[in-house]
Structure 1
Amino acid sequence: TTHPKTTAPPKVAVPRLIGLKEQAALVRLGQLGLRPKEVFRPTKQPKGVVVSQKPAEATEAPRGSPVTLVIDSGAPKVAVPNLNGLALSDARSQLDRLGLDSTTTQVTSDQPAGTVVDQAPKPGGKLAKGSTVTLSVAKQQAQTTTPTTTAQATTSSATTTPTTTPTTTPTTTAAAAPPQPQNATMPNVASQKEQAAATALANAGILASILFVPSSQPFGTVVQQAKSAGTTVPFHSHVQLNISRGSNNNTNETVPNVVGQTLQQAVSSLNAVHLRLIYLKLPVTSQAQAGKIAQQSPLSGATAPQNGQVLVYLGAFKKS
């Protein structure tokens, strides 16, 4: 008896990915039909950069096979200690030993001057080394500087002096912005439309990287997600979504660079090459980036099917 021969998938050369940003590495693998397997760990390299890969560069690997990428996850995290009740100098010493910085705000308190009465984040929270802990420190009581005036006129001065600071100082602790989350949990976006899937990722604290792939599924729906639902990834890391380009042989268009453009300019640039735009807002640290495209996917120079949707992240600046 003869057995039918099975055709092995064609092999491709694994590209060099070390040194690339995560999103660029995912796109490169997707273009070659290779599957990324990401491992995040702290290293001495910049955050979000590929530091090692397996198989190595130039290795022949079958299409569809996995390539393991080790990606820097940023500085290692440490638990925030309980600093309440400590003298400011002692609190700073503890933070220094853990590799954390500190900033202080003066508040009115019945505790001795220089005592830590509150902190943000709260004890037990995890922060990356180099992060800042805000300490609320008791300040010198104002009443000690004028002991004779309050004793003379209890009906007038006693009613006015308490209003000088106590009713306003409690708001100082609210000035500390809540710490940014360290991790995010991948949702299930299988078979969702591209915009719905990207929005679901954004709501979870994850940025979508878009790659269009041939599929029998409807045009513009998620065929595969690089991370399975429930996987924990670093906050605001990129996760690749394979989007169906449909079963038709749609014409490919080259994606232009729209980073730095206004939303209207980006719409015009993409429409000019028969592509559409969807956008989500992304917090930025500079007011100059507000209202400008901060990121795009697919990247400039990549290809997308005619009438495909390019995802852009619009910078949103919020004063602290």
Structure 2
Amino acid sequence: MLAALGFAHRHGIVHRDIKPHNVVVDADGRLKVTDFGIARSGASQMTEVGSIIGTAQYLSPEQARGSPVDQRSDVYSVGIVLYEMLTGTVPFTGDTPLEIAMKHLSEVPVPPSELRDDVPADLDLVVLRALAKDPEDRYQTAEEMNADLARIQRGLGVSSETTDAATAVLAGAGISGAPTIIAPRPTQVAPSQPPPPTTPAGYYGYEGPPRRSRSIWPWVLVLLLLIGAGFAAWFAYGKIRDELNANKPVAVPYVVGLKKAQAVKKITDKDLKVKTVPGFSEVYPAGTVMSQSIDGGEKTDKGNTVRLTVSNGRPKTTIPDVVGKAQSDAVAALTAAHLKVSVFHVYSSASPDTVTGQNPPGDSRVFWNTKVRINVSQGVKQIEIPNVVGQPYASARSALLGAGLNATETLVDSNQPADTVVSQSPGAGTRVGSGTTVTLSVSRGSTATTPVPDVTNQDEPTAKAILTGSGFKVKTMKQPVTDPGEQGIVVSQQPGGGTSAPAGSTVTIFVGDYTGTTTAVP
């Protein structure tokens, strides 16, 4: 609850209606402060003088008076809630809201430990300080109260300022702004004056000589002297009081989490000096105080300096270039740069345990704790060579490429059908690195030869029919001729007619191509 209010106060919002009904716990067990319906931005006054806003049992004295309120009013209400949590009852009750409000202004609360024996004395002190009538005697921020509760939880006890403030509350001190109640004057009946004595008729008495009236000036002089002495005493008392106050230690405000300007003002208002130094923080936004040299609540002499570390936001770092380094060296370098590391092992031609890549790349500027991925070589991937003997070369090559290998062809004489793989190297079942080349020996076909027919001086269609009929393939090439009679006629062939060649091999024929001009004979 104090953490939530501290957040609201740092953003200038005062709740003004803190009570158990406005504090809820969600399904995950997290506490939330709700109903900011009468909250105001910063210090504000009630809309009507004398009106009571909020629930009477949880009002602060300044709310009851209709005075301006700030975050310390919420601290008072939290003190009421804590009192009720410890004892089961609120400290001030009455038949009407006005009666309860008057008790907030004038009555000293009964310490919780007097109602419950199991309440520790330190919690008494926290509650009583929070319920101080004068806001200056309370916790100045929700964080300051939270810090005291954290000290109690750690067994360290409360701050000395809390002890002094709680003691003052029990002694009836710290009650400022309470209404002055004027007792009604009793009715006084003036005694009846006896009538003046009557002078008997006919009597002429001697009244004597007239009296001289006494002078009042001596009394005026005495009164003036007394007034002058009073003024002198008052002036001397003021001088002594000022000197005593000037030498009296002051409590350092708790300013962690506040904006720099707010923190500086709170400290200088206590007649203390401020020195600010920059720092980086993963928690506190830029421009807010992340630590103070003297803890909030501790007392120090006026004029002393409080050093505030002001956040510059999240720190940045430069990513080192670790490509080519060993994994252990790379991780150490990245960790030293306040970075997180994610390692991925990959197959690579680089030496095992060597960093082959990183993301983000080296020399990038990033925030602390950014995750950097590094790829670490685990060597070349080992692949078992499949058996492709007996397959056509195209199928064998496709199988090897699919396995992450390469293939090369060597033609050999074999009685196997042409284009058939007759052997492979390395052999099937051998484990090799990814990308290794496998040499395939491929049959040229049967070694038996067939006589090549002589098709010279035949026209092109006839020559093709003769050769294909003998089991050969035919390739046609044009050859320029000067004799128009050789147009479309085979003028030569390769291999030549009468020679022998393997069955199924190719015979190239050269067909005449006449491009000259023919002259007609008359």
By relative contact order (CA 8 Å, sep 6+), the higher-ranking structure is 1
The structure with the greater share of residues assigned to strand is 1
Normalised by the length of structure 1, the TM-score is 0.31
Question: Which one has the bigger helix percentage?
Answer: 2
- Under a length normalisation based on structure 2, what TM-score does the superposition of the two structures give? 0.20
